[in-house]
Amino acid sequence: MDINAAKDLAMAIAAGLGVIGPGIGIGLIGKGAMGAIGRNPEAAGQVVSNMILAIVFTEALGILALVVAFIIKFV
């Protein structure tokens, strides 16, 4: 296996595994928010704003994984 093939494989693994966690996390955040809104519809505005903030922080980890994957590929 040459170095470029190894870098391609490492990039694919880093990107793939790096976005699985945030994907699952965002799903769990959405599940919790929908459950909270279902139990208390009056608090929907506050729940949604907190949900969006949590999704942003979770998605930052996915973006970080993609940056690391590109660093592996091109450096």
Q: Distance between CA 8 and CA 29 in Å, rounded?
A: 32
Whole-number pLDDT of residue 61: 94
Biggest CA pair distance of the chain:
59
- Cα–Cα distance measured from residue 67 to residue 65, given in angstroms and rounded to the nearest whole number: 5
Domain count, the chain: 1
Which CATH number covers residue 64? Answer: 1.20.20.10
Does residue 5 lie within any of the structural domains?
Answer: no
Kindly report, residue by residue over 28-46, the tens digit of the pLDDT: 999 999 999 999 999 999 9
In which residue ranges of the chain is pLDDT below 70? none
Residue whose structure tokens are 């909270």: 36
Check residue 75 and give its pLDDT. Answer: 87
Res 30: pLDDT: 96
Q: Give the structural domain span for 47.
A: 11-74
- What distances in angstroms separate CA 28 from CA 13, 39, 54, one per listed residue? 23, 17, 11
pLDDT reported for residue 27: 96
| Residue 65 · residue 11 · CB < 8 Å | no
